[in-house]
Amino acid sequence: IQEPQLQGQDTGMQCEDDRTGIGVETLKRAFLDNLFYVQGKFPALATKHDYYMALAYTVRDRLLQRWVNTAAIYTQEGSRTVAYLSAEFLMGPHLGNNLINLGIYNQVQQAMTELKLDLKELLAKEEEPGLGNGGLGRLAACYLDSLASLEIPTLGYGIRYEFGIFDQLIRNGWQVEKTDKWLRYGNPWEIARPEWAVSVKFGGRTEAHKNAQGRYRVRWIPHKVVLGIPYDTPILGYKVNTANTLRLWKAEAPESFDFEAFNRGNYYGAVDQKVTSENLTKVLYPNDETYEGKQLRLEQQYFFVSCALQDMLRIMLRQKLPLEQFHEKFAVQLNDTHPAIAVAELMRLLLDEHEMDWEPAWEITQKTFGYTNHTLLPEALEKWSLKLFSSLLPRHLEIIYEINWRFLEQVRHKFGTDEGRIGRLSLIDENDGKFVRMAHLACVGSHKINGVAALHSELLQKTTLLDFYEFFPEKFTNITNGVTPRRWIVLSNPKLTNLITSCIGDNWIKHLEDVQRIETYAEDPGFQQEWQQIKRENKVNVAEILLDRTGVKVDPDSLFDIQVKRIHQYKRQHLNILHAITLYNQIKQNPNLDITPRTLIFAGKAAPGYYIAKLIIKLINSVAEVVNKDRDIGDRLKVVFLPDYNVKNSQPIYPAADLSEQISTAGKEASGTGNMKFAMNGALTIGTLDGANIEIRNAVGAENFFLFGLTTEDVGALRLTGYRPREYYEQNPQLKQAIDQIASGYFSHGDRSLFKPLVDLLLDKDPFMLMADYQPYIDCQQQVSQTYRDRDRWLQMSILNTARMGKFSSDRAIREYCQQIWKVQPVPVQLAAEKTGDG
Ligand code: 6GP
């Protein structure tokens, strides 16, 4: 791996500091020192995990000077800062990424080798910090990497869940969930900051009181108080000295409450209070894009938002900035509606705690927030019953009523008394019970609202948020998602990284648009040969992983056809399985069929309460069982489900793909980001015109993309004219055979009831239109198979895909957020050595 030159370090010097030096000898000494003084072990007794910890601390030492300097400069300059509020941060393992961004991967590898240790093995020891479900949480992580790399002052604010997303086991083909005890062996990347703890109130009631100036203010008398303790993790940028902070909050019981109970002699009551408080940040809700109206979830949301805003106010007071400048100091981004309560909380803090008047407080609030929407799925729209909301956040409900009253006055002023429109825009849903609509609160309280791909932003304006678009069109914008090339190319695919860098230098890692320069090699036989060789080695690696974790042996020379993402009906893993069954039947009918051998790889978690998604996992495994052991099939078709998909397990996957499955029903996938990771690593995409697929296809060229299926307009039109899925089934013998096999127990040891719910759903309702898209998908897959046989053509397409993915770097996305929404500038950080000019 080509590495950045560290600044301010004299690696040639003998006397490097043990905490900062990056020479191989220094690293070895520091590592053994940490093994002894942090882990309390010497090599003869040390476990692999001890070695991992010693290395993690060695790397952390090297982050700390940058982290402290960064904080010092931001404080000194009172820098304008992005606060990214997100209920999820799916960071992935830190060690490898920090080695890349510090530019010491090679030295550390050598140091470990000289100590007779294998860096890869130590990297594998890191527990996945799985504090997110899927796309939304991983996007937040890519954005933190880009913000630091672009030297933008940033605080990520979220929740330190004690248990992240569950570990997935597959038992008898079914998903089984296991608690994710990621903190069990300690977390070397975080530092607790109890000195910055804050109190968060819940429940109770409000009352009016007169302040010192004799003016009426509102006071909130809570039913309970919980302490928020911040835990900080440094987020280092690539080739820069900027180390920003991810600040995650843990809930604890305040001492004073313990005391009260204790003094009454109620020791158990006191301890009970502690347990209840700590439940708040115990576990991540494992639903992806489905809201569950649970009280604890609303408590989590309010808890971390209140902690974050109080923390920002503390920072302002420490820097002696007047609160009137809140929106000048902080640009606060709401990652979907999970933190939308921030709008009401900032108002409460300014009005009640800092005695500001409504108008200036509201102006500050609106100028502070931006809101990103991540899905159009109706089941994801958060709405809280008034009963629950008022019992937990009585003061916030009063504030929301006031915001709503003033907002609807403006609506009446603009549109007259159009009661239908007013009902649709209101922050309170009164259609069927009464609810607070969090997306409406986010829209009214923000100055910018964005979708995450061009189509998604367009649909937001035309459908879900149409009324808001008509009221304030100037607030709406699009920022297409991106992913960080540091984790998703440099760390995941070192061989490809070296090949690209050997041709065009390493500037592309910071400026992915530059990777375009490999286009000139797209038809170069020598380059193609190396490209193919690297892909093959990456496939051999995944074949070994599959054998190890599933016992299935796959052929690295077959076409690796991969779909990895959360399991959802709209993502249509079951359409992919219908293709698998079709291929299987074709071979069975014609045992000598000369088809392109394929390995179909699936991975992904289903929400524990999402029955149909779990049944889809069972179906994949059931089809795999039949296909993989059929001697007639041999190496021509394999189906594998890799358990426990997470960031760590995904890193080898993207570099090993020939074909990337992006087959959601048009109009349903807001953007997708896996689609970008695959294409950057040279996979070709088979996909619908959905989300960012459309922009990826435009970038790589229609001739380098396998397109099929209904468009968003087709989907809408077909629904209107009356969609009859059963007709497709009856008129298509291949499709009929596949469905009949599922229904008849062919894949379930004769059990006809097992998949009945899925089959009935497809034939009667088919909400995601698999039946309509089936034949176009099969035909397109046939084209894929044919193209794969033309080795040179495939390689050229693969190279062009990587070459043309520049736009999909999260650096580009973050630059757009900075310019269009946050209006924030880079603040470069120097190491002390650079400032003084000596070592
Ligand atoms: C996801 C979208 O489904 C995906 O298309 C997008 O790429 C990703 O967000 C990042 O923008 N949405 C979620 O994960 C979610 O929970 C509420 O939305």
Q: What is the ipTM of this complex?
A: 0.99
Residue where a domain stops, chosen among 443, 460, 481: 481
Q: Which of 374, 381, 569, 673 to mutate to test the pocket of ligand 1 (most atoms within 8 A of CB)?
A: 374
Query: What proportions of the chain, in percent to the nearest 5, are helix, strand and coil?
Result: 55, 15, 30
Tell me, yes or no, whether 830 lies in a domain: no
Tell me, yes or no, whether 292 lies in a domain: yes
Q: Are 778 and 575 in contact (CB under 8 A)?
A: no
**Which atom of ligand 1 approaches the CA of 669 most closely?**
5
Buried-state track 298-331, b at ≥16 Cβ within 10 A, e below 16: bbbbbbbbbbbbbbbbebbeeeeeebeebbbbbb
CA distance 561 to 634: 17
Measured CA distances, 123 to 25, 397, 772 (Å): 20, 48, 45
Report the nearest-CA residue for atom 7 of ligand 1: 672
**Could you write out the three-class secondary structure of 357-392?**
CHHHHHHHHHHHEEEECCCCCHHHCCEEEHHHHHHH
CA distance 494 to 514: 18
Q: How long, in residues, is the chain?
A: 839
Q: How far is CA 464 from the centre of its chain?
A: 23
Any atom of ligand 1 within 6 Å of the Cβ of 374: yes
Torsion angle of the four alpha carbons 613, 615, 618, 620, in this order, in degrees rounded to the nearest 10: -60
| Residues whose CB is less than 8 angstroms from the CB of residue 264 and which lie 6 or more positions away in sequence, other chains included | none
pLDDT at res. 271 = 77
**Which atom of ligand 1 approaches the CA of 372 most closely?**
11
Any atom of ligand 1 within 6 Å of the Cβ of 565: no
DSSP for residue 819:
I
CA distance 374 to 336: 6
Report the nearest-CA residue for atom 16 of ligand 1: 289
Average pLDDT of adjacent 10-residue blocks, the chain of 839 residues: 42 70 96 97 95 98 97 96 98 98 98 98 98 98 99 98 98 98 98 98 97 93 97 98 98 75 71 86 96 96 99 96 98 98 98 97 98 96 98 98 98 96 98 96 98 98 98 98 98 98 98 98 97 98 98 98 98 99 98 96 98 99 98 97 98 99 98 98 98 99 98 98 98 98 98 98 98 98 98 98 98 98 97 51
Q: Are 792 and 528 in contact (CB under 8 A)?
A: yes
CA distance 765 to 536: 42
Residue where a domain stops, chosen among 424, 458, 481: 481
Buried-state track 502-511, b at ≥16 Cβ within 10 A, e below 16: eebebebbbe
332 lies in the same domain as 391: yes
* DSSP H helix total and E strand total for the chain: 34, 25
Q: How far is CA 236 from the centre of its chain?
A: 18
Q: Are 308 and 83 in contact (CB under 8 A)?
A: yes
DSSP for residue 205:
E
- The sign of the torsion formed by the CA atoms of 787, 792, 797, 801 equals positive
Give the 3-state secondary structure of residue 272: helix
Any atom of ligand 1 within 6 Å of the Cβ of 670: yes
β-sheet bridge partners, residue 156: 84, 246
Element containing residue 681 per DSSP (H, E): none
Count how many domains the chain has. 3
Distance 357 CA to ligand 1 centre (A): 37
Element containing residue 528 per DSSP (H, E): helix 525-550
465 lies in the same domain as 516: no
Tell me, yes or no, whether 816 lies in a domain: no
Q: Which domain holds residue 6?
A: 1-77+96-127
| Residues labelled as active-site residues | 374, 565-566, 571, 673, 677
Any atom of ligand 1 within 6 Å of the Cβ of 135: yes
Report the nearest-CA residue for atom 13 of ligand 1: 136
**Which atom of ligand 1 approaches the CA of 481 most closely?**
11
Give the 3-state secondary structure of residue 243: strand
Any atom of ligand 1 within 6 Å of the Cβ of 139: yes
């489905």: which residue's tokens?
Answer: 290
Could you tell me which of 399, 381, 477, 394 has the C-alpha nearest to residue 438? Answer: 381
CA distance 573 to 619: 10
Distance 650 CA to ligand 1 centre (A): 17
Tell me, yes or no, whether 821 lies in a domain: no
318 lies in the same domain as 268: yes
Any atom of ligand 1 within 6 Å of the Cβ of 669: yes
Could you tell me which of 144, 187, 188 has the C-alpha nearest to residue 162? Answer: 187
Distance 36 CA to ligand 1 centre (A): 44
553 lies in the same domain as 437: no
Q: Are 334 and 85 in contact (CB under 8 A)?
A: yes
pLDDT digit string, tens, across residues 41-95 = 999 999 999 999 999 999 999 999 999 999 999 999 999 999 999 999 999 999 9
pLDDT digit string, tens, across residues 400-421 = 999 999 999 999 999 999 999 9
Q: How many CA atoms lie within 13 A of 508 on its CB side?
A: 29
Residue type, 205: R
Tell me, yes or no, whether 87 lies in a domain: yes
Q: How far is CA 228 from the centre of its chain?
A: 24
Tell me, yes or no, whether 509 lies in a domain: yes
Tell me, yes or no, whether 624 lies in a domain: yes
Any atom of ligand 1 within 6 Å of the Cβ of 375: yes
pLDDT at res. 269 = 74
Any atom of ligand 1 within 6 Å of the Cβ of 88: no
Q: Are 450 and 373 in contact (CB under 8 A)?
A: yes
CA distance 54 to 37: 9
114 lies in the same domain as 158: no
Tell me, yes or no, whether 833 lies in a domain: no
Give the 3-state secondary structure of residue 91: coil
Distance 139 CA to ligand 1 centre (A): 8
111 lies in the same domain as 148: no
Could you tell me which of 163, 155, 160 has the C-alpha nearest to residue 182? Answer: 163
pLDDT at res. 834 = 57
Distance 451 CA to ligand 1 centre (A): 10
34 lies in the same domain as 141: no
| Residues whose CB is less than 8 angstroms from the CB of residue 490 and which lie 6 or more positions away in sequence, other chains included | 1, 100, 497, 509
589 lies in the same domain as 510: yes
CA distance 147 to 811: 8
């230098």: which residue's tokens?
Answer: 505
Distance 165 CA to ligand 1 centre (A): 16
526 lies in the same domain as 460: no
**Which atom of ligand 1 approaches the CA of 338 most closely?**
17
Any atom of ligand 1 within 6 Å of the Cβ of 134: yes
Residue type, 465: L
Structure tokens given for 406: 């003033």
Any atom of ligand 1 within 6 Å of the Cβ of 452: yes
pLDDT at res. 839 = 29
pLDDT at res. 831 = 82
């497809």: which residue's tokens?
Answer: 762
Q: How many CB atoms lie within 10 A of CB 472?
A: 15
pLDDT at res. 272 = 79
DSSP for residue 54:
H
Burial class (CB in 10 A: 0-12, 13-18, 19+), 555: middle
Any atom of ligand 1 within 6 Å of the Cβ of 16: no
- The sign of the torsion formed by the CA atoms of 735, 738, 741, 743 equals negative
| Residues whose CB is less than 8 angstroms from the CB of residue 514 and which lie 6 or more positions away in sequence, other chains included | 504, 507, 508, 806
| Residues whose CB is less than 8 angstroms from the CB of residue 727 and which lie 6 or more positions away in sequence, other chains included | none
Pairing relation of β-strands 330-335 and 369-372? parallel
475 lies in the same domain as 517: no
The CATH code of the domain that includes 334 is 3.40.50.2000
CA distance 632 to 492: 36
Structure tokens given for 503: 């041709």
pLDDT at res. 474 = 98
Residue where a domain stops, chosen among 481, 499, 517: 481
Q: Are 34 and 58 in contact (CB under 8 A)?
A: yes
Q: Are 673 and 135 in contact (CB under 8 A)?
A: yes
Q: What are phi and psi of 429, to 5 degrees?
A: -90, 120
DSSP for residue 131:
E
- The sign of the torsion formed by the CA atoms of 334, 339, 343, 346 equals negative
Q: How far is CA 590 from the centre of its chain?
A: 44
198 lies in the same domain as 254: yes
Q: How many CA atoms lie within 13 A of 535 on its CB side?
A: 26
Q: What are phi and psi of 753, to 5 degrees?
A: -85, -25
DSSP for residue 449:
E
Structure tokens given for 30: 């520091």
Residue type, 766: D
Q: Could you tell me the pTM of the whole model?
A: 0.97
142 lies in the same domain as 119: no
Q: Are 199 and 254 in contact (CB under 8 A)?
A: yes
pLDDT at res. 607 = 98
**Which atom of ligand 1 approaches the CA of 337 most closely?**
17
